[in-house]
Amino acid sequence: MECEIDERWKLVDRIAEETVTYGDGKTTLKDAIAELTVKPLTGLPIALAVLYGFWSFFSAFAGFFTDGFFVRLFDNHWLPWLQGVFPGKGSWYYFILVGDPAAGNSFEAFGMLTSGLFVAIGIVLPAITAFYLYLIILEDSGYMPRLAVLIDTLLHKIGLHGFAIVPMILSLGCNVPGVAATRTLQTKKQRFMMITLLAIFIPCGAQLGVIFSLIPEFAGIILLYLLIGFIFFGFILHKVIPGKSPEILIDIPPYRTPSLENVSKKLWVRTKGFFTTAIPFVLLGVGLVNVLYLGGVIDWLAEALGPLLTTWFGVPKETVGPLVAGFLRKDLAVAQLSAIEMTKYQLISSVVLVNLYFPCIATFIMMMKEGSERGVRGVLEILGGSLLVLATVLFIWGGLLHLIWIMMGVA
């Protein structure tokens, strides 16, 4: 394999000698900016500024539409109207569809047509729209390949290369396209590592939207802990899993001004699937959890798993309900957690736990699809290996956070 890579580089050198003409060129402003964004000394501060800009834009955009429009629409108009006209108040189907008849806001009602629609449309939709809009502008401007070059050295420490930043950033929008984008990685080892790390440590845009909207003061701690876990366990997987991590050539286009037409088309393509996939899953998640509550299943699971949750992870046993919902939609799970009475340290631990414990069903199906291209053995390798790593990470990384709180004297 190493010989093949050496031959490729020799071929590249020969082609370059025959085709590239060197001479004095005129440096433009775009050229100067392009140079600054790939050099570590200047590129890293620029990358931090880009991330800060994303955080500010995300918070302002999502907050404006969620708090300024959707909260008022759902709480002042939709919820009172639905509670007044929906028949069977106090019945089981009223509990599933509308929720608590005494609820004063849509979030706390927890019915399919109240909390379900509010979380999906009022919180998640503005969040993913903001995320995709910012990401598309970075893509069309030509910044993303430069970010890949900039982060290449760090990712090589954990057996990946700079282009792995693409599935990572896509996963911040949705883990499903992030998993699909791992096909661009060259080796089976890299693809397995990336799929596993994405499924465990990278929160999707919908989940981020709920975190930023409902518990923004804890978002930094949660994301930092997940990032440290991504690097730490990535390094371990790189050492444990056999295989090579070859270099990759990345085409770096010149900087361009994004066109309004391209940005709007891409934004529509990426957000329209939300209405056909995310919203049904959120509604299904709320309905399923309500049915399990009515059947006593959630209470039984809470009692059965309570000792493990409270002793090892340091979270209340009531987190069982959100964990069940998280298999369908993790953003829904985080929304449920924020409604449970607990300390801020328990809330941080429980949100981290939701992220670590299991991929959502859409990501799970995508992982199966990626493995199925190599037959039954491929499915078993992807799912079996990933779930084994997931269980190990959940037990170690989830329990370690509780231990940190104990050592700080706050648990």
Answer yes or no: is 274 within a domain: yes
**Nearest alpha carbon to residue 151 among 26, 51, 277:** 51
Contact (Cβ atoms closer than 8 angstroms) between residue 38 and residue 146: yes
pLDDT at residue 132, rounded to an integer: 83
Q: What number is the average pLDDT over the span 366-376?
A: 72
pLDDT digits (tens, 9 = 90+) for 279-338: 787 788 888 888 888 888 888 888 898 899 999 999 999 898 888 888 777 887 888 888
Per-residue pLDDT band for 3 (boundaries 50, 70, 90) equals low
Token pair in block for residue 362: 């859409």
Residue 262 pLDDT more than 90? yes
**Nearest alpha carbon to residue 240 among 378, 377, 380, 385:** 385
Domain around 386: 34-244+260-406
Concatenating the DSSP letter of every residue in 195-260 gives HHHHHHH---HHHHHHHHHH-HHHHHHHHHHHHHHHHHHHHHHHHHS-S---------PPP-PPPH
- Tell me which of 54-63, 68-77, 287-296 is least confident: 54-63
Q: What number is the average pLDDT over the span 191-212?
A: 86
H helix runs in 37-164, sequence order: 40-65, 71-73, 79-85, 92-97, 106-109, 117, 125-141, 143-156
Residue 357 pLDDT more than 60? yes
Answer yes or no: is 10 within a domain: no
Answer yes or no: is 170 within a domain: yes
pLDDT at residue 248, rounded to an integer: 65
pLDDT at residue 367, rounded to an integer: 79
Answer yes or no: is 177 within a domain: yes
Answer yes or no: is 117 within a domain: yes
pLDDT at residue 23, rounded to an integer: 67
Q: How far apart are CA 400 and CA 406, in angstroms?
A: 10
pLDDT digits (tens, 9 = 90+) for 85-98: 999 988 999 999 99
Per-residue pLDDT band for 260 (boundaries 50, 70, 90) equals very high
Q: What number is the average pLDDT over the span 240-260?
A: 80
- Say which residue the tokens 């499924």 belong to: 199
Answer yes or no: is 29 within a domain: no
If one compares 184 and 122, the residue with the highest pLDDT of the two is 122
Q: What is the mean pLDDT of the chain?
A: 84
Answer yes or no: is 19 within a domain: no
Q: Tally the domains of the chain.
A: 1
Q: What number is the average pLDDT over the span 29-53?
A: 85
Answer yes or no: is 127 within a domain: yes
Concatenating the DSSP letter of every residue in 137-200 gives HHHHHTHHHHHHHHHHHHHHTTT--GGGHHHHHHHHH-HHHHHHGGGGSSSHHHHHHHHHHHHH
Residue 246 pLDDT more than 80? no
